[in-house]
Amino acid sequence: MSHCAPKQLASCLPKVVPKLTEAFSDTHPKVKASAEEALDEISKVIRNPEVSQIAQILLKALTDPATGTIKALESLIETEFLHAIDAPSLALIVPVLHRGLRDRAATTKRYGALIAGNMCTMIDDPRDFVPYLPILLPDLKVVLLDPIPDVRSISAKAFGSLTRGLGEATFPDLRPWLIETLMSEDGSSVERSGAAQGLTEVLMASGAGLVENVMHEEILPLRSHPKASTREGVLWVLTFLPSSLGQAFTPLIDSSLPALLGGLSDESEQVRDVAMRAGRVMIRSHGKAHVDKILPSLEEGLIDEDYRIRVASLTLLGDLLSLIGGTKVVKGDGDTQEDVRQAERAQAQIALALGSDTRKRVLSSLYMARSDTAAVVRQNAVQVWKTVVSVTPRTLREILDVLVGQIVTALASGHPEQTQVAGRCLGDIVHKLGDAVLPEIIPVLRDALYRGDEHTRRGVCVGLIEVIGCASKEQIIKFLDILVKAVQDALCDEDEGVRQMAASCFQSLYTVVGNRALDEVVPVLLVAMESSEGDQVARHRALNGLTGILSIRSKELLPYLVPRLLSKPMTKNHADALGSIASVTGGTIHLHFHSIISTLMSELSSFSGQDLDEEEEKREEAIRECARVVCGSVEEIGVNFLISEVASKCSSDKDSMRTEACRMFQVIIEERAEEADFYEQIPIMLRDLIARLNDESSLVLKACNAALKSLTTHVPAEELVNHIEFIRNLIASMVSDARRRKGGVGDGEFLLPGFNMPKGLEPMLPIYQRGILYGNAIIREASAAGLGELINLTASKYLAGPFIIKMTGPLLRIVGDRNPSNVKIAIIQTLGLILTKGGPALRAFVPQFQTTFVKALSDPSRQVRTEAIKALSLLMPLSTRLDPLIKELVAGSLGKGPSAAVETAGAVAVQTATLEALAVVINRGGGKAKLPISIPSALDAGKDMIFHEDDGVREAAAKVIGAACALLGEETTSDVVQELILEKSDTSADRKHGKACCCHRILASEVGKQIDDELLSSMSSLVKRLMKDEKSNVREAACVAVGAVIGSASDTSSCIADVESAILRCMDPKETMEVHRAVAKGLCVAARLKPKIFVSETCLSLMDGALKLAMSGAQRVQLSFNDFLWLAFDAGKGDEGIEAYSGVANFENARTAKTLYSKVLVRIKGVEED
């Protein structure tokens, strides 16, 4: 075909040659040889003479790519083409290019890209090259993203050449691919750089109009893209575009600068680096020609909030100025002669290029940057300054007016960082120029202070601080009058920020000139404050000035000011002034609390009980507000002084002073609640406030209540609960003093005044509730017992309603928890007090109370069971449904209740307690039982247990029998007596003891007096016989029962005569102490049933015996017979009983009885009934 149809073969070569090159790698040698022969024939149809000359080299590259490719590419580059390359030539060249672009060597790739880019310029018809684009474009794309910059650059130019030669329409997917690679998050910075360079060349090849359109529509909008990789891609485009476009980039400068500056402050370091690179490229390419466009953006960057932008702007400004000045940015000290000469030349060139005004403005901004808050900014600014300025003092004088203007503007900006920078710069100028600059600076600052807004005035104060700090003492003294007036006016400013800055300024002035600053300012302000009564504005300004000075020099001024402000009577203005002063002297004002607190409280107490006019009301309000400010402003170091001073007034003899002390405590708590720095002084406050609960004045009581309420409101209950025991001791001590002091109530009921007022207990309740619900065992016990003590000191009417319900809930909620016995005892005792005081208001809680107390009957602790029995007796007046309770107690007493599984010893104790409780329930509320079987079932339970092997169970069963018989009447009682006492045999000691106990309880009950004489006589005989029994416990029970026999007998005298000998025998000194005590107990029973029978002659022998035992050495026996004698003489009602006995007794016994009566019996308040 190469000979017969060369033209047709040439058109097919793009398809033929690749297939032939594939055959070179075939394993069969004949195939390979045939392919080589075919290519050799094809090369003969090439009409381009230059390609024909190197055809063999190209064929060698195709047959042996490893060694021939680089040589073929070099031959192509070295060949000077005078003729257009035809299609057959392309068929040989393109495979070589394809292999070269894929080679690992950078040189090979560089040659391949260079030749591919120039190919369009060497062919007649560009369309001949189009069939090869699918082969070369993927390779060029890969080379465009190569790590080597030179390779990327040549590949990018190749894309530009191809686009220029073939038109952008030939590559519809190229620009989208470049932009996508530019935005890719997966690609590296190198790949984005290559894509940006390629995009630049492609856009340039497409024309300036397309460049602007693509930049505005597609590239620049991506500058704020959320992905850092995309933002970096935009900046890479701006890195290559300015130098490539040249002057054609001018329309894009304004829209590109924001993207550059934004990139300089980007959070990504890579983005910032690329932005800096792009900025430097723009400066180099367009700096001189378009300085008017670039310079304003750089000046704005110098004052940006982000220090990175400031650093970058400085760097770019240095590049711009060095470009204009024809020099380089100084990297070292810049102090060599050559550096100075270069700076002189640069300064002249810059002045010529920028003009005088712009030069001054730029240099002023540059000099201010030397005082930047960021060290890296300061360092860069110094280097740039040295690059363009040769003699700093001379240049400063030249730009001083513009620099001072910029400083004042920055001072007035309201931006803290700019204000600080301007102040530092001002100080630096003063330090460098001294007297030459102060006359120009101070008037400018003073005018700005008077005419500017608050931001300006604050900035001026910062400037004054720097001026005073950097100037010498001689310079300050020289301008002292002007400085003092400016500082004084700033101290009196209406804006607090200005006053704070002015205070620091005054401190700087005081550091330099000492007390002279005080002497110049303070007297003027004092005169203005005290002589401007009518002019409130002037007085207020003077007060502002004083407080400003006091905020920094309080130790020197307070001793001078405080006495003047505390002069009596304290005016409203003085009170306001003292409050303002206290607000800024919290660290030192406590040193004057002795006089301040005393005066304030004295003034406030003087208003008590007075009919105040409007003016006096305003004065009182001002003094109270002053006291509040004083309490709230003092620092932690002074809180102890404050509380101690107030506490010293709590015991004043004046009601009004005590009232104010309590109110002051309330103010302290409220004002310092957030700081919580008074917790260590809480015991002091509690001590004095609780002492005031017993005050005689109602005003003091109300103030004390409010203070305690504030304490429990603002201090966490978990903190106060730690003081529970301390509070209990305080209350106990106070109550003891109130009882024992002259005119006290003694052992009678005492009600604490502070609790006996509306909501009197409310402040204390949160502390006790917290302790009960969340405290440990010790705190729970103390809280429960303490609450009971509070209830004891409070009248029922102040506990009624929701208040007592609020106390009851927590106690009932935790009594069932696994608490130690002492905690349960305290809780049950307190619940008993609540029942006593609460009354009908607690009726809704009866089921909970009942369940709680019955459950406590099975507690392992005897004291808990005892308290539960007492509490059940107090519950009976409120209970309406007794039948279920009786049923439950009956089952428990027989060992069939929930406690049946308890071990034997514990079961006996629980049975005893349950029987005791059953007896109490029947005694106190048995009449409310509605079911006919309730009381008989209780009686049956008693009968079942009366002969139990345990003494306690028998005694408790006897109580149940006695209580049931009292309700069931004489007939049932007689049957019980016959069945249990008279008919049953009494062979065992247990049965004898049970019978004696039954006799006691039946005869001591209301039904005892209804028993007929015959039955009583039988019971009496039984008791007398049992009094002689050999068992001590039987004799003891019989001795008690004999008292019930005497008390129930219709003929007392004959009964006493019948049993007297038996009683006297048991009172023999040889008898045991327990028998003696049992005799005393039995006589007490008789004395209760029949009062006054023992002071007659009939009972003289018994009384003499009792008197003798009351004087015996055994203390417990003495106490028992003292109780009997107290009942016999009816000592609680007067001397009539002792006198009656003295009338029938012999002289010696009468004298002994009177002595005992006067020393012992009159002190007994009562005798508990068993």
pLDDT at site 3: 47
Largest Cα span, the chain: 177
pLDDT at site 201: 82
Give the whole-angstrom CA distance, residue 432 versus residue 1151.
Answer: 114
| pLDDT tens, position by position, 764-800 | 989 988 998 888 889 989 999 999 989 888 888 888 7
Task: Take residue 895 and report the two structure tokens written for it.
Answer: 């060992």
pLDDT at site 1: 47
Tell whether pTM > 0.75.
no
902 pLDDT tier (thresholds 50, 70, 90): very low
pLDDT at site 234: 81
| pLDDT tens, position by position, 564-595 | 888 888 888 888 888 888 888 888 888 889 99
Is residue 891 scored above 70 in pLDDT? yes
Is residue 905 scored above 70 in pLDDT? no
Which positions ≥6 away from 1015 have C-beta within 8 Å? 974, 977, 978, 982
Q: What percent of the chain has pLDDT over 90?
A: 15
Type of residue found at 172:
P
- 85 three-class SS: strand
Is residue 1105 scored above 70 in pLDDT? yes
pLDDT at site 156: 84
| pLDDT tens, position by position, 599-620 | 999 999 988 877 888 888 888 8
- Is residue 1052 within 8 Å of residue 1089, measured between CB atoms? no
Give the whole-angstrom CA distance, residue 438 versus residue 467.
Answer: 8
Minimal CA–CA distance to 690: which of 738, 636, 626, 653?
Answer: 738
Is residue 242 scored above 50 in pLDDT? yes
Least confident of 173-177, 626-630, 967-971: 173-177
710 pLDDT tier (thresholds 50, 70, 90): very high
pLDDT at site 590: 87
- 1054 three-class SS: helix
Angle formed by the axes of helices 106-118 and 65-78, to 10°? Answer: 50
Least confident of 354-363, 396-405, 549-558, 561-570: 549-558
Mean pLDDT confidence for 898-906: 51
pLDDT at site 903: 46
Mean pLDDT confidence for 393-418: 80
pLDDT at site 705: 93
**Taking all residues of the chain, what is their mean pLDDT, rounded to a whole number?**
82
Give the whole-angstrom CA distance, residue 711 versus residue 688.
Answer: 13
549 pLDDT tier (thresholds 50, 70, 90): confident
| pLDDT tens, position by position, 997-1055 | 999 999 999 888 888 888 889 899 999 999 988 889 999 999 999 999 998 988 888 89
Is residue 321 scored above 90 in pLDDT? no
pLDDT at site 1074: 92
Is residue 257 scored above 70 in pLDDT? yes
- 607 three-class SS: coil
Task: Take residue 849 and report the two structure tokens written for it.
Answer: 């109370």
pLDDT at site 958: 92
Task: Take residue 299 and report the two structure tokens written for it.
Answer: 């000046």
22 pLDDT tier (thresholds 50, 70, 90): low
Please state, as a whole number, how many other Cβ atoms lie within 10 Å of the Cβ of residue 37: 10
DSSP letter string over 669-730?
HHHTTTTT--GGGHHHHHHHHHHGGG-S-HHHHHHHHHHHHHHHHHS-HHHHGGGHHHHHHH
The angle at the Cα of 31, spanning 27 to 33, to the nearest 5 degrees, equals 105
- Is residue 925 within 8 Å of residue 879, measured between CB atoms? yes
Q: Is the dihedral of CA 1007, 1012, 1013, 1014 positive or negative?
A: negative
| pLDDT tens, position by position, 817-859 | 778 888 888 988 888 888 888 877 788 888 888 888 888 888 8
Least confident of 59-63, 761-765, 1045-1049, 1158-1162: 59-63
Is residue 665 scored above 90 in pLDDT? yes
Regarding predicted confidence, which is higher, 320 or 3? 320
Q: How many residues does the chain have?
A: 1170
2 pLDDT tier (thresholds 50, 70, 90): very low
- Is residue 1117 within 8 Å of residue 1109, measured between CB atoms? yes
pLDDT at site 330: 57
Minimal CA–CA distance to 841: which of 808, 869, 864?
Answer: 808
Give the whole-angstrom CA distance, residue 146 versus residue 4.
Answer: 45
Task: Take residue 1113 and report the two structure tokens written for it.
Answer: 């050495």
pLDDT at site 44: 63
| pLDDT tens, position by position, 487-537 | 877 778 777 777 778 788 878 877 888 777 777 777 777 777 766 455 677
